Structure 1
């Protein structure tokens, strides 16, 4: 099946994609930039389109991934100590606590949780909103909140059982 020309794709879907990106970004200028990037990627990957979904679905998938990548690029990285402070201390750890040892224990405990719980905690620690986490993981915003709260509570309980003074 021959592929439609890119100009035809652009004319057919630019308005819908732009509206979608405006909805995600709440910024018309950023939506324009992401729209351009979406069509650049579509052009580069047009040969990979297999036809197992509608072209519109394929383009919206590219647009969504472009948006997620733009979010990732804007987020600063978080140090181990910042993550530990964000998720455990609430300014209650005594000054003499070996935060590096506690951080290692938190990492080990997080490995006991399912991948989704780990990702929610990591993304939240990196400053992502619950809405952004929900979009990335394909869950509802309330699920992201509940998972983060339960995981944080569980971590504190586990550390308390092990004698950490929280």
Structure 2
């Protein structure tokens, strides 16, 4: 049984297990430790699901992509050597799974409409995220961004990856990630200001 690296209560509450603990679990899972496999999957399942959801996957597709990501990862664990964190490595796999899904979908004829598209869209909206007023869905805000800026913002601001690791996931220089995040923040702030400006005034008592 692998003993994870210690974490503080605040750290565990804010982000879950530390990256070095997760990477150690991945390496132990590569060696055939079933407990480590379970710890590895549990530790990163939420991050993978949020990543593919915020990059445009609908609820059903996000579940499938998350499962596909872990299937791909577990199938290639023998090639993971711990040179990067397991989180970065797994999100790179999630990115490829998402790209493959988009390519596959674009090559198939699209069905016109779905029985309850509005309900599905509402369920896709994340709730309870800090820094955003009630009634403003973060997913709607992120949808206003170009794909590359949205990915950089999600990786660094929502999933908490360092800029260098986000650059590894995205396959671009660190400076490019910093620029994309800065532009994403500026766009989101402008969007929020415009939303506040055009919000209806409260009715007089």
TM-score when normalising by structure 2: 0.38
Q: Which of the two has higher C-alpha Rg?
A: 1
Say which structure is richer in helix: 1
TM-score when normalising by structure 1: 0.45
